[in-house]
Structure 1
Amino acid sequence: MAAQGEFFAGISKIQYVPSAAAGDVMCFKHYNAEEVLMGRKMEAWLRFSVCYWHSFCGTGADPFGFPTLQRPWNEGTPMESAKKRLGAAFEFFTKLGVKYYTFHDRDMAPEGPTLEETNRNLDEMTDLALQLQCQTGVKVLWVTCNLFAHPRYMNGAATNPDCHVLAYAGAQVKKGLDVAKKLGADNFVFWGGREGFLSTHNTDVAAELKHMANFFRMAVDYKEKIGLKCQFLIEPKPKEPCKHQYDYDAMSVIGFLKHYGLENHFKLNIEPNHTTLAGHCYEHDIVLASAFGMLGSVDSNTGSPDLGWDTDQFPMDIRNTTMVMKTIVEQGGLQPGGLNFDAKVRRESTDLEDLFIAHIGAMDAFARGLRNAVRIIEEGLLARMVKERYSSFSDGIGRKVEEGTASLEEMETFIKQNGEPKVTSGKQEKYESIFNHYI
């Protein structure tokens, strides 16, 4: 196991220095973990998590270029590098000062030629991870299973037309749930990387959706059987790698869950980069999921909409982080979910310190967003304006509509008595100007 300081020598624990100059990027200028806002510490509102796959397994490779990130922990046999990687990760977590991390099963340990060997590798690595968790106090925000990278899953996992493949995915998830319990994970995420279709000509959509629902029921049953106390999350994405993925966006997933009677067992893990891929604005799926009481966690990243693909960049836009944190604070927080940095440094950012700089900048961006959101909520101007805009539903016929007791006959009677409605301005520019006041 790597010793503390071996991989990030010369970098000490990141400090909060609000007076730091613009060029000082190895300290927090805005994120103050102990600062209390609306009765809760900043670290409790934000619950930051570092993802294993991008930060420690990433190589900088993309569809057009070879790896550019030569990491010292990726040397040796697969299990040797896995152990080095684990040591580097926990050194990073503790120096950055985050309390949580996330991983896929195949990030933590290499796959072997058989399921039995694969599981032994995972057992060995998670034994080491548990030791480091106990030593450092860092916890698992969520675990997930990689059901998309191996060639066996090229036609999907839970939606595969071959039940043999679906069975393998089930065996893998069973082990993943065992690992989640072992490590005390707060959540378990399902991301359907290959759950969709490339062509409707060879796809039975109804059968695949039913099989996926039944797969989720098996996971729910096993979770209850082993006494796993964690939240199940589904992560929407509209495309990539499939032409169309069944978990297209928040509303698609919510509709799926309600159709199959699974809505009480799952919430959503929203990734804004996926939201923009679906053609929505950055905060769209976060707001929609929260409105239905289904927002469980956030993969805190961003993308470049002009590129049109999933770039997984670190979130640095204060307007975006303010909108996200406003929704989170209004729903009372994300616990047991959090803000997981499902983001990777650019393939051109090759220095080890760039990994720290990226996370520090994103954490500061969310700290600023949190402070902005708290001011907006505490001052209440926007909320009062919205309330006034919908005030016609507070009494009379509007109250009956609100309560679901109105009829079309009553609508007709009301119009005959009151005539043509007076159209009122939506005042969009006023709302936007007021919002900008807080940024």
Structure 2
Amino acid sequence: MSTGFFDGIAPIRYAGPDADGDLAFRHYNPDEIVLGKRMEDHLRFAVAYWHSFAWEGGDPFGGSTLERPWYPQDSMERAKAKADAAFEMFAILGQPYYCWHDADIRPDQGDFAANLKTLNEITDYLGEKAEKQGTKLLWGTANMFSHRRWMSGASTNPDPEVFAFAAATVKSCMDATHKLGGENYVLWGGREGYETLLNTDLSQELDHMGRFLNMVVEYKHKIGFKGTILVEPKPQEPSKHQYDFDAATCIGFLRKYGLEGEVKLNLEQGHAILAGHSFEHEIAVACAEGMLGSIDMNRNDYQSGWDTDQFPNNVPEVALAYYHILKSGGLGTGGTNFDAKIRRQSLDAEDLIAGHVGAMDICARGLKAAAAMIEDGGLEANLKARYSGWETPEAQAMLSSDLDTITAQVLAKGTNPRPVSGRQERLENYVNRFV
């Protein structure tokens, strides 16, 4: 049934680069072929249920500013009204996917049995709506950071009863994701970290986290879930230090606990910035290790020191991100979810639609620029030239040699290597030709 929230907003269509108005796609044409594949199939867009429908407009210094027909989010009646509005928006945008935390789609009842009952109820409701409309679930996840029970972590909590509650919660969310045909399941450890080492057994907490994730993988195979298990790096906020600091840290953790063949990464641009990296860096690290799973496309305000989760608006940043994604073979079962939110002063339904429309256009422009760079081959040609010295038999033999032998060779040659330009400025100018 209609909530009336989006009344008067027509479905968004591709209208071309010269289109007028805020609510039209200028660059996102789902059927446009890019590198032999439909644009929609490259990007695999997904609406993030939490920021679009569960966030009430608060920030660290103020309460809610947004008014929605489904607020307060304290009953199943309102949860279903929220779902109605969500699917209305998916239809307006033509979004192929969506994603959620359990706390976004149903009210937290406190005890696990009540939470399980409401989760099962809303799962059936979402399934019925998806069957009628066709919007699919990209991934589900459990919110194990908002409620006070999670204040000291979930799988890393010093209280075994909280660990057990977390395990049961993840099981229920995996069941719901599986039932809805979700293509991935994500674990983000918002409070899997510490505030102070004075009261933290770091080694034990990491072991518990590793065992917990192994349980998740074991359960995935038990129920026949064909999707990908993903973990999402973030360095801080809400914890002072989180164990899933960045892509490299997560990859090391997964290898330590024997999970590198089972779990991939869900990377968020805003989290990359908090870790002191670029989004391009985090994606390149994951791609280099064959562990890229999916992306949360947003941005932070570079003047703020926290995760502002804004819609992307920087084509060069997005283009370089998709360049590495395309080079590595694409997103697979993953996608581009908009873990992004309108500003707390943007009150209207049109603002929510406009944020997604602009973001989808930015991603489309970035994707096309990345594809053009790949087709042109300039960056790859430069890389090949820069590392060409390693193609010689002598250089390759050195990699299987030893320090004594290499030292003798250096003394015999009697040469002093001359540095070669990295050509960075010219390469930056090259990228700017496409964006």
Normalising by the smaller structure, the TM-score range is: over 0.9
Residue identity in the other structure for 1:405: S
Residue identity in the other structure for 1:12: A
- Secondary structure of the residue aligned to 1:87 is helix
Distance 1:398 1:437 in 2: 35
Q: CA offset at residue 76 of structure 1?
A: 7.8
| CA RMSD after TM alignment | 1.3
Aligned match of 2:149 = 152
Q: CA offset at residue 114 of structure 1?
A: 2.4
Aligned match of 2:424 = 428
Distance 1:180 1:413 in 2: 61
Aligned match of 2:365 = 368
1:343 to 332, 340, 345: 340
Unaligned runs of 5+ in 1: none
Aligned match of 1:93 = 90
1:246 to 243, 267, 287: 243
Q: CA offset at residue 33 of structure 1?
A: 0.2
- Secondary structure of the residue aligned to 2:248 is helix
Q: CA offset at residue 77 of structure 1?
A: 5.2
- 2:214 is the alignment partner of 1:211: no
Correspondence list, 1:329-340, <5 A: 329-340=326-337
Aligned match of 1:415 = 410
Q: CA offset at residue 19 of structure 1?
A: 4.6
User: Which is further off, 417-426 or 289-298?
Assistant: 417-426
**Residues 45 and 12 of structure 1, relative CA distance in 2, 3 Å threshold:** same
Identity of aligned residues (%): 46
Contact 1:74–1:82 (8 Å) recurs in 2: no
Q: Which runs of 4+ in 1 moved over 6 A?
A: none
User: Which is further off, 254-263 or 74-83?
Assistant: 74-83
Deviations 1:192-248, CA, capped at 9 Å, x for gaps: 100001101111100000000000111111111111111000000000011100000
Q: CA offset at residue 75 of structure 1?
A: 5.5
| TM-score, normalised by the number of residues in structure 2 | 0.97
Contact 2:235–2:242 (8 Å) recurs in 1: yes
- Secondary structure of the residue aligned to 1:297 is strand
Aligned match of 2:10 = 12
Aligned match of 2:356 = 359
2:161 to 151, 161, 164: 164
Residue identity in the other structure for 1:157: A
Residue identity in the other structure for 1:334: L
- 2:59 is the alignment partner of 1:28: no
Residue identity in the other structure for 2:208: H
Distance 1:39 1:116 in 2: 49
1:106 to 100, 103, 106: 103
Distance 1:254 1:396 in 2: 32
- Secondary structure of the residue aligned to 2:305 is coil
Correspondence list, 1:256-275, <5 A: 256-275=253-272
Q: CA offset at residue 7 of structure 1?
A: 2.2
| TM-score, normalised by the number of residues in structure 1 | 0.97
Correspondence list, 1:107-146, <5 A: 107-146=104-143
Aligned match of 2:37 = 40
Distance 1:303 1:314 in 2: 9
- 2:423 is the alignment partner of 1:437: no
Contact 1:45–1:333 (8 Å) recurs in 2: yes
Q: CA offset at residue 373 of structure 1?
A: 0.5
User: Which is further off, 375-384 or 409-418?
Assistant: 409-418
Q: CA offset at residue 82 of structure 1?
A: 0.3
Residue identity in the other structure for 1:16: Y
Q: CA offset at residue 281 of structure 1?
A: 2.1
Distance 1:377 1:417 in 2: 42
User: Which is further off, 76-85 or 158-167?
Assistant: 76-85
Deviations 1:318-362, CA, capped at 9 Å, x for gaps: 011101110111111102000000000000111110001000000
Distance 2:162 2:361 in 1: 43
Aligned match of 2:318 = 321
Contact 1:316–1:362 (8 Å) recurs in 2: yes
Q: CA offset at residue 63 of structure 1?
A: 1.2
Contact 2:144–2:189 (8 Å) recurs in 1: yes
Contact 1:318–1:366 (8 Å) recurs in 2: yes
Aligned match of 2:280 = 283
Distance 1:75 1:281 in 2: 37
Residue identity in the other structure for 2:419: V
Aligned match of 1:405 = 400
1:228 to 206, 214, 225: 225
Q: CA offset at residue 423 of structure 1?
A: 1.2
Residue identity in the other structure for 2:268: E
Distance 2:312 2:401 in 1: 45
Deviations 1:109-154, CA, capped at 9 Å, x for gaps: 1122421111111111110100011111110000000111111111
Aligned match of 1:183 = 180
Unaligned runs of 5+ in 2: none
Aligned match of 1:304 = 301
Aligned match of 1:237 = 234
Distance 2:305 2:195 in 1: 18
- Secondary structure of the residue aligned to 2:345 is coil
Distance 2:127 2:283 in 1: 32
Distance 1:113 1:353 in 2: 34
- Secondary structure of the residue aligned to 2:139 is strand
Residue identity in the other structure for 1:6: G
Distance 2:78 2:137 in 1: 21
Distance 2:258 2:92 in 1: 44
Q: Paired residues, what number?
A: 434
Q: CA offset at residue 399 of structure 1?
A: 1.9
Q: CA offset at residue 6 of structure 1?
A: 2.6
Distance 1:311 1:434 in 2: 31
Residue identity in the other structure for 1:413: A
Contact 1:300–1:315 (8 Å) recurs in 2: yes
